[in-house]
Amino acid sequence: QVQLVQSGAEVKKPGASVKVSCRASGYTFTSNAIHWVRQAPGQRPEWMGWINGGNGNTKSSQKFQGRVTLTRDTSASTAYMELSSLRSEDTAVYYCAREGAPSHGPFDYWGQGTLVTVSS
């Protein structure tokens, strides 16, 4: 069965960076894109960007451009999201999600979420 398993919770100081991993299993990693979505407390989910599992192409929301780096390691079936220059407003649960179909696909499987807390 398809599973996405994320790395554990992080506490960071303002200005630092955080890198979250998302290990996929149960399907061919290179066949689907992985998206990153974050959700601040009590807020709607917010899309951050995506990486093509096959060719590694990425696209991120303009809101995060310059601060977010999406990478993947196909040998480990793992995607990574690094967010830099953290501020308190970045405190949220970060999710990875698989795109279920190429082009316009929904997020059919999600990781369990990684809580990132930014606090001095």
Which residues of the chain form contacts with other proteins (CB under 8 A)?
35, 44-47, 59, 61-63, 95, 97, 100, 104-108, 110-113
Q: How far apart are the first and last CA of the chain?
A: 40
Which of 25, 75 has the CB closer to other proteins? 25
CA 119 to CA 93: how far, in whole Å?
15
DSSP 63: G
Which of 16, 101 has the CB closer to other proteins? 101
Closest contact distance (angstroms) between CB of 61 and other proteins is 4
Closest contact distance (angstroms) between CB of 33 and other proteins is 11
Which of 15, 100 has the CB closer to other proteins? 100
Closest contact distance (angstroms) between CB of 66 and other proteins is 15
Closest contact distance (angstroms) between CB of 3 and other proteins is 12
Contact 49, 99 (CB under 8 A): no
Residue carrying structure tokens 């809580």: 115
Query: Within 13 Å and on the Cβ side, how many CA atoms surround 89?
Result: 4
